[in-house]
């Protein structure tokens, strides 16, 4: 821009963010038994089975589940590869999060159905949000977060990163996300950046976690990608 010239954004540019429909579409990952996971997510989490497809020529099947239709909600896309019954989840993928008005009640219900609670409900260490952790049949972790009400219960994907600033820049520049919250918990030696296309109570966000001094994680072969 030439020195002295006024920065007047065009009307078109000002209108563009209002029409911006970018959002989190689905998370793709692999499971060892499609029906087992569908049963767990529908019965324990209250997700709906949205659709299933079988691609025999490529020897895999998919199932899409979520808390509402794909047109308006973030959903999971499970992949079952014929004959492959287990995967290595790696250390880079952290968890998905589900918002619920009563974490204690949800944990009780999940436990009654035989679910594996790996962290009992209670305030997060160093904070006040009530959380719990549940492990699904393949070992994927789901964090349950207490929230009064939310348009999108499947509200977070947590990934561990080796350099928070580098990752924040990547998601800003490559995918147009914004940092909606940053938290540093030096007493627990980690920092997080919540990134997304809207505030964290309105939509799904990416929770990037940096553990002090940890610069590398393993990817495994189970978690595939998030589509936007
Ligand atoms: N070392 C942790 C750092 C992230 C972390 O601790 N996150 C919080 C949630 S934001 C947590 O899991 N807290 C465990 C607790 O409160 O028991 C990791 O890599 O998962």
Q: Distance from the CA of 144 to the center of ligand 1, in angstroms?
A: 13
* Ordered strands of the 26-30 beta sheet: 48-55, 60-66, 75-81, 26-30, 223-227
CA distance 45 to 109: 9
Q: What is the pLDDT of residue 19?
A: 67
Q: What is the pLDDT of residue 17?
A: 55
- Position of tokens 């929770």? 207
Catalytic positions? 143
Closest among 212, 174, 213, 209 to 91, alpha carbons compared:
209
Structure tokens that stand for 174 in this block: 């490559």
How many degrees, rounded to 5, is the angle at CA 218 between CA 213 and CA 224?
Answer: 130
Q: What is the pLDDT of residue 45?
A: 98
Q: Are 135 and 89 in contact (CB under 8 A)?
A: no
Name the closest-CA residue to atom 1, ligand 1.
211
Name the closest-CA residue to atom 12, ligand 1.
124
**95 annotated among ligand-binding-site residues:** yes
Q: Is the CB of 95 under 6 A from ligand 1?
A: no
Q: What is the pLDDT of residue 149?
A: 87
- Position of tokens 């998370």? 27
Q: Distance from the CA of 109 to the center of ligand 1, in angstroms?
A: 23
Q: What is the pLDDT of residue 4?
A: 42
Ligand 1 nearest-atom number relative to CA 119: 17
Q: What is the pLDDT of residue 18?
A: 61
Sorted by where each starts, the structural domains of the chain and their CATH numbers stand as 21-227 (3.10.180.10)
10-residue mean pLDDT profile of the chain (228 residues): values are 52 64 94 98 98 98 98 97 98 98 98 98 97 98 96 97 98 96 98 96 96 97 92
Q: What are phi and psi of 118, to 5 degrees?
A: -100, -10
Q: Distance from the CA of 209 to the center of ligand 1, in angstroms?
A: 9
Q: What is the pLDDT of residue 1?
A: 39
What three-state secondary structure class fits 224? strand
Q: What is the pLDDT of residue 5?
A: 45
């Amino acid at each position: 821009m030439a020195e002295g010239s006024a920065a007047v954004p065009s009307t078109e540019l000002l209108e563009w963010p209002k029409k911006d429909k970018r959002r989190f579409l689905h998370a793709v990952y692999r499971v060892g038994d499609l029906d087992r996971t569908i049963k767990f997510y529908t019965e324990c989490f209250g997700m709906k089975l949205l659709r299933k497809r079988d691609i025999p020529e490529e020897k895999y099947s998919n199932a899409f589940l979520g808390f509402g239709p794909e047109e308006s909600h973030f959903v999971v896309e499970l992949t079952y590869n014929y004959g492959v019954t287990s995967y290595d989840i790696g250390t880079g993928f952290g968890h998905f999060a589900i918002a619920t008005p009563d974490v204690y009640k949800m944990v009780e219900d999940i436990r009654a159905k035989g679910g594996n609670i790996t962290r009992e409900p209670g305030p997060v260490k160093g904070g006040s949000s009530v959380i719990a952790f549940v492990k699904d049949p393949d070992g994927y972790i789901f964090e349950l977060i207490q929230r009064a009400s939310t348009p999108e219960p499947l509200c977070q994907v947590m990934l561990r990163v080796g350099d928070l600033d580098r990752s924040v820049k990547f998601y800003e520049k490559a995918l147009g996300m914004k940092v909606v919250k940053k938290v540093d918990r030096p007493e627990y030696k980690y920092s997080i950046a919540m990134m997304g296309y809207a505030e964290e109570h309105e939509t799904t966000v990416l929770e990037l976690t940096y553990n002090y001094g940890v610069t590398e994680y393993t990817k495994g072969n189970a978690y595939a990608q998030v589509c936007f």
